[in-house]
Amino acid sequence: RLSAGVRSIAGAGMAFAALKDTGEVVTWGDAGSGGDCSAVADRLATGVNSIAGTQGAFAALKDTGQLVTWGRAACGGDCSA
């Protein structure tokens, strides 16, 4: 899934996220640092414009203006408040 079409990457502590040309985000690394995005994977499948990482979390900005976060809540991984 990462052999072609990667637009950008971001790091968060011990994990990485890659933004593909299709607008999909692929993550790997330490699950607690955002390497496991399964809780929000449906929202990261298409339409992502940019990604950013902190020490232990990621944020993705979608075409719609929606912000999707995952990873450690104390590091910004929970934007539900």
Q: Which of 13, 9, 15, 17 is nearest to 54 (CA)?
A: 13
Written as one string, the DSSP assignment of 40-81 is: TGGGSSS-EEEEEE-SSEEEEEETTS-EEEEE-GGGTT----
**Amino acid sitting at position 21:** D
Tens of pLDDT along the chain (81 residues) come to 899 999 999 999 899 999 999 999 999 999 999 999 999 999 999 999 999 999 999 999 999 999 999 999 999 999 987
C-alpha pair distances (Å), 56 with each of 4, 47, 65: 26, 23, 23
Say how far apart CA 36 and CA 16 lie, in whole Å: 10
